[in-house]
Chains A and B, each alone.
Chain A
Amino acid sequence: MGEPVVQVLGGATLADRSKDALAVAFVALLLGIPMVGLTTVDQGGTLQVATRWPILAAFVLAVFAGRLVLRYLADRLGERRVRRERSLTSSDQRRTAGGRRMIVRVGWLAFIGALLLPIAFSDNRYVVDTATTVLIYVMLGWGLNVVVGLAGLLDLGHVAFYAVGAYAYALLSTQFGWGFWVALPVAGLIAAGFGLIIGWPSLRLRGDYLAIVTLGFGEIIRVILINWTEFSGGPNGITSIPRPTFFGLPFKPPSDEPTFASFFGLEFSPVHRIVFLYYVILVLCVLTNVFVTRLRRLPVGRAWEAVREDEIACKALGINVTNVKLSAFVLGAMLGGVAGVFFAARQGFISPESFTFNESAIILAIVVLGGMGSQLGVVLASLVLVLLPELGRDFAEYRMLLFGTAMILIMIWKPGGILSKREPTLRHAREEGRP
C-alpha cells in the first residue's frame, strides 16, 4: 500500500513532513475511493453506483492537512519531553518541590470547591447529582488505585466488589432492617472477605492470571445476581432500599414522625436529601483519601510500591510478596464495597445492570488516565470521564466519539497519566532537619 509511513523524528524539515503527509494522504485516497468516492443511490427502484469525487478530494486534502498538523504537534511535544528528560539535574529537584506544593495547593482548592459546591448550586439538582456521581467514581478510583496504581496488580473486575457492597447493604437493610451507618462497615468487610477469597489463591499467580481471574469473578457475580432470583431479585433487582438518615431523621415529606425538615424548622425540599447524600460521599472520600495517603507512607504502602517495581527483589529482601499483594487487594475490595453501599443507598434501587464489565473498565480508565498511584490524578480523571459524556449530551450520538478522542489525546499528551509524577514517601533532606 504505497510507501511505508516513515516516522519523522524531531527536527524534521518541511519537505520531510510534506512527504510523510503525502504518504498518509495516498493511503487515505486508496481507502477513500470505495468508502467515500463511490456511493450507491436509489434510482428508479434499482441501486446505481454514483461517484462523489469532490467529497473524496476534500477528504484526502483534510487528511493531508490533518497529518501535517498532527505530526508537527507530536514532534513539538516529543521534543519538549526529550528536553525535560535531559535536564535531570539539581534544579530538577527544586522544580519537583515546586510541583509538589502546587499539587497540594490544587488538592486543597479542589476540596474547598467540593465543600462549597452544594451551597453555590443549592437550587440546581442536576449539578449536585452529577457531582455526587463524580465522587462515587473518585472513591472507586481511589480504591482501585491501591490495587492497580500502588501494588501494580491488574484488577479487571473491581465492579464485583462494588456490586457486593451494594447488594450487601440492599439485603441487610431490606431483609433485616439495618441502618445505613451500621451496614456501611459491615458491607465493606463483606466485600473485603470476597477480596480475600479471590485474592488468596490467585495472587500467587503471575500478573496476567490475576487479570483473568478478576475478570471472571466480575462476570460470575453479575451472572449470579441475575439468576439467583430468590436471593437478589434477579434482573428486577432490589427496590425501595432505605435512604441514609440524618442521625435518625429521614428526608421525607412532613408526616407524624419527625423528619429532617420539621426538626430544623425548614420547609421540606427534595434537594435536602441530594445535598446530604453529596456530603456523605464527600466525607467517605475524604476518609478514604486520608487513609490511603497515610498507608502509602507506612511500611505496607512502601511494600505495595516495591512489589509493583520488582517482586523478585522484594522476596530477596525478606518481604512476603503474597501477603503484601493480598493486603492491597483486600483493601481495594473493601473501599469498592463501601462505595457500593453508598451507591445502593443513593439510588434506592439496584439491579445487576449497574455492575457490568463496562463499569470496571471505566474505573480502570480513571486510574490509568489519572496517573497510576496519584490521588489527585484520580480526581481529575473522574471529572473528565464523568463530565465529558455529560457535557457531550448535546452532541447526541457523537458523544462517545468525543469521549474516545479525548482519551486518546490525553494518552498522547501524557502517556503516564494526567499526574504521573511520583511523590516520594519520605525524604532525606527533611529528615536531616529533624532533631
Chain B
Amino acid sequence: MSERQPLLAVDRLTMRFGGLTAIDDLSLDVHTGRITAVIGPNGAGKTTLFNCMTGFYKPTVGSVRLNHPQRGTLALEALASHQVARAAQVVRTFQNIRLFPKMTVLENLIVAQHNPLQEASRFSLAGLLGLPSYRRAETQAVEKAVRWLTRLGLIDKADLAAGDLPYGTQRRIEIARALCVDPILLCLDEPAAGLNPRESAELNALLQSLVRDDGLSILLIEHDMNVVMNVSDHICVLNYGRKIAEGTPEAIRTNPSVIQAYLGEEEDERYDGDKGAAR
C-alpha cells in the first residue's frame, strides 16, 4: 500500500526568514488513507511546514506536490492560499483557533461551503431572486453542516455564537468547519492543544473514524503524545527544521535521536542539577 504514489510529496523544502532557516531541506511523503503526524520540539518548523504547504508562505526552495485523484498533480507551493483549499482540497486548521467568533456555529460551517454556494447563487442573482436552484443548494449546505455537527456532537450549539463557546468545543468546530470544505487531505495544527483527557480521547476516535469511514487522509501536528502514538500510522520528527527521524510509532518511540531531541534536555538538566548539588 505504501508503495503507491504518495498523496502529498514534500520535496527538499527549505524556508528561510532572513538569516533564520525555519525548514532545512525537508522531504516528506503523506499517503492516502493514513494519519501522518509531524512532531518535534517548539520551534522545530512544524507550523512553518503547514504554512508552506497551504500557500500562506512561499517556500525559498523546494516543492510540494499533491497527487489529486481527479485533478492530477498540483504544485501547492505555487497556488494562492485560497486555491490550496479550493482547487487542491487541502484544508488546514490553526494552532490558535481561527473561528468567525461573532457568527453562529452553523454559519461558520456554511461559510466553509462558500464556493459551491456562490456558484449556485450565480453572482448572487439567483440568490437575490430566491430561485429554487439556489434554495436547494442552500438546503443541501445546511444538511451537510448539520450532518457534521451531529457527528461531532455539536448540534445543540448550532445557533450559538462560535466565539462564546468553550475552548475544546471551538477546536471541534474548527475541525467540523474544515470538513465542510470536502478536503481530501486534512491538515490539523495541534488539534489536541488545550483539550482535557476525555476530549482528546474523543479526538482520537474522530480522527480514526474520518480515515476509516470517510476515506480522508490526515496530516497532524501534535504535541500530545497520547494522540500521536495512538492514532498515527506514520510519524515524522523535526528538530531545528530538519527531519531527524521517520517511521511507525513503535520505531519512533525507540529511536535514539528522537529521544535525544526530546529528552536530551532533561539529561542536561539533571547534569546541571548534579553540578549544582556538588557545588
Contact = CB atoms under 8 A, between A and B. Distances in A.
A189 interface: no
A428 B54 contact: no
Nearest to A311: B98
Interface residues of A, number: 33
A303 B159 contact: no
Interface stretch (B102-110, B232-240, B245-253): B102-110
Contact of A316 (B81, B121, B139, B159): B81
A431 B98 contact: no
Contact of A295 (B80, B124, B161): B124
Nearest to A317: B112
Interface in B160-209: 160-161, 164, 177-178, 181
- 6 A-B pairs with the lowest CB-CB distances in the bound complex, closest first: A318-B85, A318-B86, A428-B158, A309-B100, A313-B98, A298-B127
Contact of B159 (A299, A305, A318, A429): A429
A297 to B, nearest CB: 8
15 contacts: A93-B159, A300-B127, A305-B103, A309-B100, A309-B102, A316-B54, A316-B94, A318-B91, A424-B106, A426-B110, A426-B142, A428-B106, A428-B142, A428-B155, A431-B142
A29 interface: no
A312 B189 CA distance: 14
A241 interface: no
Contacts of A302: 103, 107, 110-111, 114
Contacts of A429: 158-159
B82 interface: yes
A306 B55 CA distance: 19
Nearest to A430: B159
A371 to B, nearest CB: 12
B57 interface: no
A424 B121 contact: no
Interface string A77-90: 00000000000100
A305 B139 CA distance: 20
Given A305-B102, A424-B104, 18 more contacts: A93-B160, A295-B128, A300-B118, A302-B114, A305-B100, A305-B103, A309-B99, A310-B99, A313-B94, A316-B54, A316-B81, A316-B98, A316-B178, A318-B83, A318-B115, A424-B107, A426-B110, A431-B142
Interface in A265-311: 291, 294-295, 298-300, 302-303, 305-306, 309-310
Interface in B98-151: 98-104, 106-107, 110-112, 114-115, 117-118, 121, 124, 127-128, 138-139, 142, 146, 149
A101 interface: no
B82 A321 contact: yes
Nearest to A431: B142
B92 interface: yes
B199 to A, nearest CB: 21
Contacts of A298: 121, 124, 127-128
A427 interface: yes
Contacts of A300: 118, 121, 124, 127
B99 A313 contact: yes
A299 B85 contact: no
A105 interface: no
A319 B110 contact: no
Contacts of A299: 110, 114, 117-118, 121, 124, 127
Nearest to B81: A315
A295 B121 CA distance: 11
Contacts of B118: 299-300, 303
A227 interface: no
A308 to B, nearest CB: 8
Contacts of B93: 316
B91 A317 contact: yes
A303 to B, nearest CB: 5
A430 B222 CA distance: 38
Contact of B100 (A93, A291, A310): A310
Q: Among the interface residues B101, B103, B104, B111, which one has the most CB atoms of the partner chain A within 10 A?
A: B111
A306 B128 contact: no
Nearest to A434: B139
A298 B181 CA distance: 18
Interface in A302-352: 302-303, 305-306, 309-310, 312-321
B98 to A, nearest CB: 4
A428 B101 CA distance: 17
A424 to B, nearest CB: 5
Contacts of B81: 315-316
A425 B114 CA distance: 14
A201 to B, nearest CB: 17
Nearest to A295: B124
A300 B117 CA distance: 9
Contacts of A88: 164
